[in-house]
Copies of this chain bind each other. A is one copy, B any other.
């Protein structure tokens, strides 16, 4: 059921930045939206890339699985971000699973539609190029971290990245605003949930973070930055 949404949902989506009112309406008209409850797999690694997607609300985890079942979290997608779009143009196969980690609303366009839209509105292609470029640089940075840094610093970097992307200010500090398990963090940083747990426990005893079941609150972001950048810890405040 191609539920045609309010064109307003596209506002703030980098993929459609700079399109005029008419073009946006055109884009929206061809979209399909659907609700995806927490835990739903939106597409699976290895499937033909039938559609390009974007997230209206919620949170989606992009996970790649290796030959022996090892999983790696490539990124988390938040509202306004596209996902699975790349596969439509390069490869034609989804390179990873997309799983909703919170109740979400997703919008998508069939591969054919996506291609047509892009030819009709060249601006979309340029936007996509910029977005993909940014992601490539981000993944390359992670590659460097993973190659050269110790586990503790990698975990600090991962949390800081999540704070930037999905941080919500609360009295006690900043919290990650979606369910995030130790296992997830481990799969983002190339370590085990045990090491993540130990690390967070150590930080908790220093008052830097506060943990909970699938929940992380950062009490002292600056201390986390110090760890990530390997600076001397600041004087206690």
Contact = CB atoms under 8 A, between A and B. Distances in A.
A15 B229 CA distance: 37
A205 interface: no
Chain A residues touching B, majority SS: helix
Interface string A137-168: 10111111111110000000000000000000
A144 B86 contact: no
Contact of A68 (B90, B118, B136, B230): B230
A70 B148 contact: yes
A141 to B, nearest CB: 8
Contacts of A170: none
Stoichiometry, as copies per complex, reads 2
Nearest to A74: B140
Nearest to A126: B125
Interface stretch (A26-34, A127-135, A217-225): A127-135
Given A64-B140, A89-B126, A133-B89, A147 B72 contact: yes
Nearest to A139: B139
Interface string A33-76: 00000000000000000000000000000001011101010100
